[in-house]
Amino acid sequence: MTTYQRTLKNSFSLEGKGLHTGLNIRITFNPAPDNHGYKIKRTDILGQPIIDALAENVSATQRGTVLSANGAQVSTVEHALAALYACEIDNCLIEVNAPEFPILDGSSILFVSKIKEVGIQQQKSLRKYITFKRKRIKVVDKATGASMLLLPDESFSIQSQISFDSTFLRKQDAQMNDLSEFTRDFASARTFVFVREIEPLLENNLVKGGDLDNAIVIYDKQIEQENLDHLADLMGVKHKDAQKLGYIMNKPLLYPNEPARHKLLDIIGDIALVGHFIKGKIIANCPGHKINNLFARAIREAMKPEVKSTTADIITEPIGMGSFYWNHP
């Protein structure tokens, strides 16, 4: 079946605060010509530099994906890119007046809603799909045990499992069989954080814009009331009883496995940096922005015909060599 590239029918803008900077941010998504891909323009910097949203331009992956090029950087791009990719937008110019995208409610749903509101325009050029019919691509992080695997398939799907040392979040899995499921089942899944992670993040000048409305907040290990109150004051939220463990955000879980669904959302946002739509089955174990980016880079390397293999942690090999077992909890 012939598939043509697509862009937005019209521009749209959203405003909100940055998760890490706390700044009030305006972001605008614009139609773009055929074969443009995703590009990000920093409108607040002299010369308005443009960053190509590609895997090799990722400069950091701590608590989000950071892109850098042409003397500029922009972070927390994954939720917006997941929305564009899942809505099958090939070409878009994104303008933002800050060093990060607004966090909004911590999910992709507001981006998706706006895309559907303004509509999608079919373009003249054919869409190029990336597919590897006779080889698999596997990336392993030996330090954490995380892995990502791409198997040949005629469509796009993701099977993902996460695991944490937490009473409230041990093992969860999520599965998306087609991009058409994203809006209904994954777009509204929010990012998550453990209370025990917040203080170190604040010390590293991060999550200045974090609150109980834009993330799932998991309080699973009791701390002193005074310390919990201090964190609440730093984040500008109400004090909570330090003896009551559990999920403490303002809006309850949308799904029992919402964290796993959000991790799948993140995979899509990071895979969007391959620069093309993919036909294949992704199997992810303990995904995160670091390994997602290594995976996207490996796919881009495998797109080059001369590449047969890469480093010890990135395996590109013919089907039939090696093995991978997916274990459900």
Question: Shortest CA distance to 30 belongs to which of 13, 44, 42, 18?
Answer: 13
Instruction: State both tokens at 204.
Output: 């590293």
> How far does CA 158 lie from the centroid of its chain?
13
Give the H/E segment covering residue 296.
helix 289-302
pLDDT of res. 205: 77
Strand partners, 37: none
In the chain, helix, strand, coil percent, each to 5?
A: 25, 30, 45
pTM for this predicted structure = 0.91
Q: How far is CA 201 from CA 189, 198, 207, 210, 292, in A?
A: 22, 5, 6, 10, 21
Contact 35, 148 (CB under 8 A): no
Q: Tell me which long-range contacts 242-245 makes (C-beta under 8 A, separation of at least 24).
A: 244/219, 245/167, 245/168, 245/219, 245/220, 245/221
Residue 208 has what pLDDT? 85
CATH 3.30.230.20 for domain 4-126, yes or no, is yes
* Residue with the two structure tokens 């850098």: 68
Half-sphere exposure of 298 (CA within 13 A, CB side): 27
Collapse the DSSP code of 38 into the 3-class scheme (helix H, G, I; strand E, B; otherwise coil) and give the result: strand
Tens of pLDDT along 228-272?
998 988 888 899 999 999 999 999 999 999 999 999 999 999 999
The domains of the chain are located at 4-126, 192-247
Q: What is the pLDDT of residue 309?
A: 39
**DSSP-derived pairing of the beta strands 216-219 and 50-52:** unpaired
Q: At what angle do helices 109-118 and 78-86 cross, to 10 degrees?
A: 40
CA distance 205 to 215: 18
φ, ψ (nearest 5 deg) of residue 67: -105, 140
pLDDT score at 207:
80
Could you list the active site residues? 289
Task: Encode the chain (329 residues) as per-residue pLDDT tens digits.
Answer: 789 999 999 999 999 999 999 999 999 999 999 999 999 999 999 999 999 999 999 999 988 999 999 999 999 999 999 999 999 999 999 999 999 999 999 999 999 999 999 999 999 999 999 999 888 999 999 888 999 999 999 999 999 999 999 999 999 999 999 999 999 999 999 999 999 988 888 778 778 898 899 999 999 999 999 999 989 888 888 999 999 999 999 999 999 999 999 999 999 999 999 999 999 999 999 999 999 999 999 999 998 864 443 333 444 444 433 322 222 22
